[in-house]
Structure 1
């Protein structure tokens, strides 16, 4: 076989997402069912879901309340679009509910199919806003180093994780984007000055960086970003796709950190992953130009077939009710305290370089001689799902229904595997 040719591997027809295929083919775990905080695989394993899927299964898996809500809605109206003069009642009801929960007063709500959709809409709306304001030079969208904002064209373009940006033939799929410091307000101010505020449309930031390694904001950082945006006529876009709907102990992390964004993106926790749904909360300064009573009022051309999907909205409404009925946000506060205690002990384990907590979100960074991916793989054999993230970090973000003992056992298992791998390498 010539040196430049390789054997082509076989595998399922389904192309795994975010995967180096030679590394996963032949050892993929097929999940067939789930219940509560556990998933079950085709080979008979029961695994504690230490990541709540992809940060989303907040109320736990296979809740009959949400299945019943979807069934009842489909029997009445599976969906109807929200284009032009048409709406469906569930989309209207959910938008009103979200507006009442919003950390920003008097918002309008755009609904779509997920977080990547929401980011795409928010960035386009930010640019459209400044065009209408007669400031066409304001087109650049800023985002933080190590940020993750989905993988649509705009999310790819504003990613602070370079491996998600490279390989497409240009520095940015969507032109006019730039990165800012992830934790230094003074450095952000310098970047804004270098680019020129007159060229910047928006700044997008996660309150807690998730895929970038579970990094809570440094003290004063988010407040500093908000001040910079206000001082320089830059729209402040807060990406709450992971943190929204209770993950940090408040309905939105913006409340926890005292933020009043111009645009707030959400997804995941709005339905706990039971139906694909995301969207944008839009402050009055941004939505009002599109609501003027004038024949010259512009149209913001957003929307996809499933925007405001009636069944997804019905599921979201029942999910939000569950958060309230079961007092899951106060429970997150308790779990944050316990997780912080447990991770403080874990920090003393040789091989653990550091830990971080923000709400019921934890990150465990390992020493360089250990690999987060190898540790996560071995944890499966102990009955626990974690996920390797940037910076040799393990993700901890179980469902809100997790018991104290389950959380302790997860952290204990991490310590055991880290110790065992360290001993084998020693």
Structure 2
């Protein structure tokens, strides 16, 4: 084991995975192929990102053409590149925020860091520097940079660093109880709270759709108490719930939206933040006293990544993949309750858009069931709460989705009978 591969696997208990790793060497559409010759249906779209499927030639062409023209140029100070400018305009045009400005970076964890810093910077500029606390929901996942680690609602992601939170001014709120959230706000004090971060549909926390009216209640609490609403659409953005952003599905008007994954379907690393005018306008005032928001990284606004994102958005629109998600959602809405009703080892099913989860009984192991699904030719993933993930590419056929759900049914049934 100590002489194994040099690559340190992510999010892994290393003794449990070394020697058991599945090496993916190519992909095509909704399938990936392993180095030992297996063909696997990608029921998770990688890490929720391969929306248009794997190895799409048009995205490869977009990257190739852009690299021959200009691989990238930074966007610091007076400099920009044409593709970053074009992508920002495109994103502003489809954002759930009118007249949005766009900060580009390299992924979802970057975006969360920028959004939380910008929230604090906003209130400091407003003359209210005591507003520093960032609220996040129980079971939330917001990446693993310092801020994402600190606002995690999954306790195991915050453990082992010598304190409850790497960034101290954070606190958790209830998963779905708005009254408890109101109590938490009053206990901490609204004058100390800068922002509230929420996924519209929690992903890694177990695919938890919001209780009816809950997100709208959070929005009202934010407006009442001058708390910025940050909506984390890293998973749900770009069609995963049947609308371009889940904020539209749930009637939200966020101050900040973080995005990544689906903006390029994972073909290149890219993420960012969409910003409401009330946040960005004071930084644009023509005055020597106008403050600077210190953000930016080498690859922020990467020209090749932006070119790939633009082509990816073209494909989503041309191939009507958002309406395809709505069609597949109807299949999940039919198949998952039927699975729960016929399989005594399934305790709960949840879904929203093309996001689903199957929770298995406590005497079973979702991790072991996911392993058995690999042997059956399907990739799922164990999530919090002893649940199995369902989030295939948008190009999945009806029959493939039904076969995937029924494979989960068989795998759970076999484990129950063993």
TM bin (shorter chain): over 0.9
Equivalences for 1:56-205 in 2 at 5 Å? 56-205=49-198
Equivalences for 1:228-307 in 2 at 5 Å? 228-307=221-300
1:9-50 deviation digits (Å, cap 9, x = unpaired): 331100000000001011100000000000000011000000
Say which SS state the counterpart of residue 48 (structure 1) adopts.
strand
Choose 342-351 or 89-98, whichever is displaced more: 342-351
The reply to whether residue 370 of structure 1 matches residue 364 of structure 2 is yes
Say which SS state the counterpart of residue 357 (structure 1) adopts.
strand
Match of 1:386 among 361, 364, 380: 380
- Mapped to 2, the partners of 1:411 and 1:28 lie a distance apart of 24
Equivalences for 1:330-369 in 2 at 5 Å? 330-348=323-341, 349-369=343-363
- Mapped to 1, the partners of 2:369 and 2:2 lie a distance apart of 25
- Mapped to 2, the partners of 1:104 and 1:271 lie a distance apart of 20
Other-structure match for 2:404: 410
In the alignment, is the contact (CA less than 8 A) between 1:140 and 1:199 conserved in 2? yes
In the alignment, is the contact (CA less than 8 A) between 1:9 and 1:22 conserved in 2? no
**Residue 170 of structure 1: CA displacement?**
1.0
In the alignment, is the contact (CA less than 8 A) between 1:223 and 1:259 conserved in 2? yes
Instruction: Kindly tell me the number of residue pairs found equivalent between the two proteins.
Output: 417
- Mapped to 2, the partners of 1:146 and 1:305 lie a distance apart of 32
Say which SS state the counterpart of residue 134 (structure 2) adopts.
strand
In the alignment, is the contact (CA less than 8 A) between 1:117 and 1:279 conserved in 2? yes
Say which SS state the counterpart of residue 58 (structure 2) adopts.
helix
**Residue 412 of structure 1: CA displacement?**
0.8
- Mapped to 2, the partners of 1:74 and 1:159 lie a distance apart of 37
- Mapped to 1, the partners of 2:142 and 2:23 lie a distance apart of 27
- Mapped to 2, the partners of 1:384 and 1:340 lie a distance apart of 20
**Residue 340 of structure 1: CA displacement?**
1.3
1:163-222 deviation digits (Å, cap 9, x = unpaired): 000100111101100000010000000000000000000000000000000000000100
1:64-84 deviation digits (Å, cap 9, x = unpaired): 000000000000000000000
In the alignment, is the contact (CA less than 8 A) between 1:148 and 1:160 conserved in 2? yes
Say which SS state the counterpart of residue 34 (structure 1) adopts.
strand
**Residue 339 of structure 1: CA displacement?**
1.0
Say which SS state the counterpart of residue 85 (structure 2) adopts.
helix
**Residue 344 of structure 1: CA displacement?**
1.3
Other-structure match for 1:5: none
Say which SS state the counterpart of residue 150 (structure 1) adopts.
coil
Other-structure match for 2:11: 18
Equivalences for 1:1-40 in 2 at 5 Å? 9-40=2-33
Other-structure match for 1:209: 202
- Mapped to 2, the partners of 1:153 and 1:418 lie a distance apart of 37
Other-structure match for 1:4: none
Structure 2: segments with no counterpart, 5+ residues:
none
In the alignment, is the contact (CA less than 8 A) between 1:331 and 1:400 conserved in 2? yes
Choose 339-348 or 387-396, whichever is displaced more: 339-348
1:387-408 deviation digits (Å, cap 9, x = unpaired): 0000000000000000001001
Say which SS state the counterpart of residue 119 (structure 2) adopts.
helix
- Mapped to 2, the partners of 1:392 and 1:358 lie a distance apart of 19
- Mapped to 1, the partners of 2:42 and 2:85 lie a distance apart of 33
- Mapped to 2, the partners of 1:160 and 1:36 lie a distance apart of 33
- Mapped to 1, the partners of 2:355 and 2:69 lie a distance apart of 38
Say which SS state the counterpart of residue 125 (structure 1) adopts.
helix
Say which SS state the counterpart of residue 347 (structure 1) adopts.
helix
Say which SS state the counterpart of residue 69 (structure 1) adopts.
helix
Say which SS state the counterpart of residue 135 (structure 2) adopts.
strand
Choose 337-346 or 105-114, whichever is displaced more: 337-346
**Residue 350 of structure 1: CA displacement?**
1.8
